[in-house]
Amino acid sequence: MGNKVKPEVKIISKPESILKTIYTACRTCYSSESPINICEEANDEEKILKLIRKVLSSGHLSTIEHVQISYAINGISRACSHQLVRHRHMSFSQKSQRYVREKGQFSYIVPPTIGQNPILEEKFDKFMSEISRFYLELTEYGIPAEDARFVLPNAVSTSMVASLNLRELIHLANLRLCSRAQKEIRVLVKMMCEELIKTESWLSEYLVPKCEKLGYCDEERSCGRKSKEGGNNGRNA
């Protein structure tokens, strides 16, 4: 079926130099020099990274709030976007179901657990078509999109621009890369992190599930990546 979609993630805006931005924020706190000079003279990447790592390990996290990143996100379910919008330090502009009326079969996401079973997937597809037919029937009766959308499922595809600062991205990664998080948001957040790591490889040590940061698993049941007592259980989840 042509209406089944997969997630797409692209960074549409970020600071020209993330390292310089954070370094300038860090050094400004402890230097009599002007931040303008600090920024202009920041050229030694090794020195910059050393300071940033030190400041971050001491928990001085307001320094990374200056790094604002905007993502264009497409092809996620409303179930997934609903989880994402729970993060209160993020900003969103999401495709409206009031102003954008579905004109034919709406696009939707098939969870992999259903998609891997051909019989269930066929039934799922049929059910989506049925919903679509009823949605269109409602709109033909003159029911406005804002009310017709009440029959749309959690699986319906959505798009958004989502912006957040680096502190919040690390927090998001810590929570949503954990294997206890739901699969679709885990995949989405992994894509968001990987997009940034493409140009900021130093961030790979921070954009990790919370157990990597804590050194142990604080969930009721461990997936095996880290034990409850700490340390590696010998497998990566």
Ligand X SMILES: Cc1cc2nc3c(=O)[nH]c(=O)nc-3n(C[C@H](O)[C@H](O)[C@H](O)COP(=O)(O)OP(=O)(O)OC[C@H]3O[C@@H](n4cnc5c(N)ncnc54)[C@H](O)[C@@H]3O)c2cc1C
Q: C-beta of 4: minimal distance to ligand X in Å?
A: 26
Torsion sign over Cα 163, 168, 172, 174: positive
Q: Hey, what are 199's tokens? A: 């140009």
The total of other beta-carbon atoms located within 10 Å of residue 161's CB is 15
Q: Which of 27, 176, 186, 225 is catalytic?
A: 176
Q: Are 108 and 4 in contact (CB under 8 A)?
A: yes
Q: Indicate which single residue of 46, 88, 113, 221 sits in contact with ligand X (rule: CB under 6 A).
A: 88
Distances (CA, A) of 22 to 166, 210, 224: 10, 22, 34
Stretch that binds ligand X, among 63-71, 80-88, 91-99, 103-111 (CB under 6 A): 80-88
- The residue whose two tokens read 């996401």 is 109
Comparing CB distances to ligand X, the nearer of 98 and 213 is: 213
Comparing CB distances to ligand X, the nearer of 86 and 235 is: 86
Q: Which residues, 103 to 122, sit near ligand X by CB under 6 A?
A: none
89 interacts with ligand X by CB under 6 A:
yes
Binding string, residues 167-186; x marks residues near ligand X by CB under 6 A: -x--x---xx---xx-----
- At 109, give phi and psi (nearest 5°): -110, 135
Dist. CA 173–CA 42, nearest whole Å: 28
Stretch that binds ligand X, among 43-51, 83-91, 99-107, 189-197 (CB under 6 A): 83-91
Q: Identify any residues that bridge with 226 across adjacent strands, giving them in sequence order.
A: 232
- The residue whose two tokens read 């597809």 is 125
- The residue whose two tokens read 């995949």 is 187
**Alpha helices (H) along 10-153:** 18-30, 35-40, 45-57, 78-84, 112-115, 118-140, 145-148
Q: Is 176 a catalytic residue?
A: yes
Stretch that binds ligand X, among 12-20, 45-53, 84-92, 98-106 (CB under 6 A): 84-92
Q: Indicate which single residue of 86, 103, 198, 235 sits in contact with ligand X (rule: CB under 6 A).
A: 86
Comparing CB distances to ligand X, the nearer of 86 and 103 is: 86
Active site residues: 176
Interacting residue ranges for ligand X, rule: CB under 6 A:
86-89, 168, 171, 175-176, 180-181
